[in-house]
Amino acid sequence: MKILAIVSLGKGVGSGHYGRTIKLINHLKEKKSKILFILNKKEKFKKLDNNFKFDFENFKNEGSVLKKILDFDPDLIILDSYILSYSLNKKIYKINENIISIDDNLNKRHICKYYINYNFIDKNLKEKIFQKVYSKKKFIGPKYFFSSNLNLIGKKFKRGQVLIFLGSTNENKILEKVLSIFNNKKFNKLNFKIILGSYCKVNIKRLKIKNFKIYKTLPQKKYLNILSNSEFFITSGGVSVWEGLIFKKKMIVISTANNQLNNLKNLKEEKIINYVGKSKNFNHNKNKKKIFNFFSKRNSNIMLKDMNKFKIGKKFKELIFIIKKNYET
C-alpha cells in the first residue's frame, strides 16, 4: 500500500498534526508499504522519522501539490492541515477519493472518504459538521482518539513525579510563567520532568533548579513512558490532554489555541481536569493558589473517579480495521 500524508508542521503550527498522523500511519502501514509526507514548507525540522520519505511544498501552489500526488500515485491520502484550502481538497478528491481527513477545527469544510474528529461534539456541533463535511464515513468523538503504547496504561507511577509539557511552540512564554511558580520551597519534594517542544525557545541555564530535569524534544515512545511514570501532568489543551486522559493522570491544563476551548470546557464541567485558563491571560499571582491547591490529594484525586466513563480511544482499533479492510493485498 502507498500512503501519502499532506500535513502541517512548523513554528506557527506546532507538531500535533504531524504526531497524530504518524500514529495513524503506524497502525495502517504494512511491511512493504511506501510512505511519503508532503509538509507545508521546509524548515530546520528536528528528528523527522527516518522510516518515511519527506517532500516540502507551499500548499498555496495547488498545481505543484497535485503534480506530486499524481507522480506518487497513492492508494490512500491523509490530510491534516488547517492551511490546506477546501479548493485544493476538492481537486485532490477528483484525483483520488480515498482520503482520510483528520480535523479538530470545527470551522473547516472537507470532502473525503473518511472524516476523523475525536473532540467532544454535542448535537449543535454535529449538525455543523454534517453541513460542512462530505464523507462516506465519519468517526466522531473521544472514543476515536489515536491511542498508542497502550501497554503502558495502568503502569505503577512514581509518587510526586510531575511531567510538564506545554506544547511544541511555548505560546505566550507559558513555560517560563508556570515554572516560576514551582521555584518555591513548597515544591521541593516533587520531581519535575520538563519537555521542551520542538519550537520552544527557553533559556535552559535559568532553569537549573535541583528538582527540575529538562529534556529537549523526545520521541513519542519515550515521552509516553515518562507520562505513564508520572503522577501529575501539566499540559496544554491539544493532543497531549487526550493522552493524559488515556493514562489517567491528574492534570492542570492551560489552553494555547482557541480550537481547544470546546474540549476543555467539557472536561472542566465533568471535573476531570483542572483548567486554569488561556496562556495569554496566565497571571502568576492569580493562578499560584489554584496550582498550590491542585497538589493536595483532596483536590487532585477527585478527578480520577470520573475519567473511566469516557471511553477515550476505545474504538480506535475499530477505525483502523474499517479503513484497512479496503486496502488489504
Same-domain pairing of 134 and 256: no
Tell whether 192 and 107 lie within a shared domain: no
Residue scoring higher pLDDT (239 or 71): 71
Residues 157 and 44 in one domain: no
**DSSP for residue 276:** E
Taking the alpha carbons of 109, 262, 245, 282 in that order, is the dihedral positive or negative?
positive
Nearest to 111 by CA among 122, 95, 124: 95
Write the CB contacts of 315 (distance below 8 Å, at least 6 apart in sequence).
Answer: 139, 143, 144
| 234/180 same-domain check | yes
120-133 pLDDT, tens digit each: 887 788 888 888 99
Whether the per-residue pLDDT at 153 is higher than 80: the answer is no
- Asked if the model's pLDDT at residue 329 lies above 50, the reply is no
- State the distance between the two ends of the chain, measured CA to CA, in whole angstroms: 8
CATH number, domain of 130, equals: 3.40.50.11190
Residue 33: which residues within 8 A CB-CB, separation 6 or more? 1, 2, 3
> Are 298 and 319 in a shared domain?
no
**In 183-193, which positions are buried (b, 16+ CB within 10 angstroms) versus exposed (e)?**
eeeebeebbbb
d(CA 33, CA 48): 18
Residue 216, in any domain of the structure: yes
Q: Are strands 99-102 and 212-216 parallel, antiparallel or unpaired?
A: unpaired
Confidence (pLDDT) at 125 = 80
- Do 142 and 255 belong to one domain? no
Query: pTM for this structure?
Result: 0.82
Residues 25 and 166 in one domain: no
Tally of residues, the chain: 329
Q: Where are the beta strands (DSSP E) in the chain?
A: 2-7, 34-39, 53-56, 76-80, 99-102, 110-117, 133-140, 158-165, 191-196, 212-216, 230-236, 250-255, 274-278
> How many angstroms separate the CA atoms of 28 and 19, rounded?
15
Residue 182 has pLDDT above 50, yes or no: yes
Question: Considering the domain boundaries, does residue 27 fall inside one?
Answer: yes
Q: Please give the order of strands across the beta sheet that includes 212-216.
A: 212-216, 191-196, 158-165, 230-236, 250-255, 274-278
> Do 166 and 142 fall within a single domain?
no
Q: Give ∠ CA 142-143-147 in degrees, rounded to 5.
A: 95
Of the listed ranges 211-220, 222-231, 272-281, the least confidently predicted one is 211-220
Q: What is the pLDDT of residues 69-88, one digit of tens each?
A: 999 999 999 999 988 999 99
- By CB neighbour count within 10 A (0-12 exposed, 13-18 middle, 19+ buried), where does 83 fall? middle
Q: What distance lies between CA 117 and its chain's CA centroid?
A: 12
Q: What is the CATH number of the domain that holds 225?
A: 3.40.50.2000
- In this structure, the answer to whether residues 143 and 205 fall within a common structural domain is no
Q: Which domain does 297 fall in, by range?
A: 150-309
Q: Which residues pair with 163 in a beta bridge?
A: 193, 233
Does some domain include residue 112?
yes
For residue 23, is it within any domain? yes
Q: Give CA separation, 310 vs 95, 148, 247, 318, in Å.
A: 38, 17, 12, 17
301/318 same-domain check: no
User: How many structural domains comprise the chain?
Assistant: 2
Pairing relation of β-strands 76-80 and 99-102?
Answer: parallel
Residue 299 reports pLDDT greater than 60: no
Q: Is residue 329 part of a domain?
A: no
Residue 313 corresponds to which cell in the numbers above? 480511544
Q: Cα–Cα distance between 45 and 100 in angstroms, integer?
A: 25
- For residue 317, give the nearest of 112, 146, 84 by alpha carbon: 146
For 214-248, give the secondary structure using H, E and C. EEECCCHHHHHHHHHHEEEEEEECCHHHHHHHHCC
- Tell me which DSSP letter residue 82 carries: S
Instruction: Kindly state whether residues 235 and 267 are assigned to the same domain.
Output: yes
Instruction: Report, as an integer, the average pLDDT of 148-162.
Output: 77
**113 and 207 in a common domain:** no
Window from 13-17, 197-201, 216-220, 299-303 with minimum mean pLDDT: 299-303
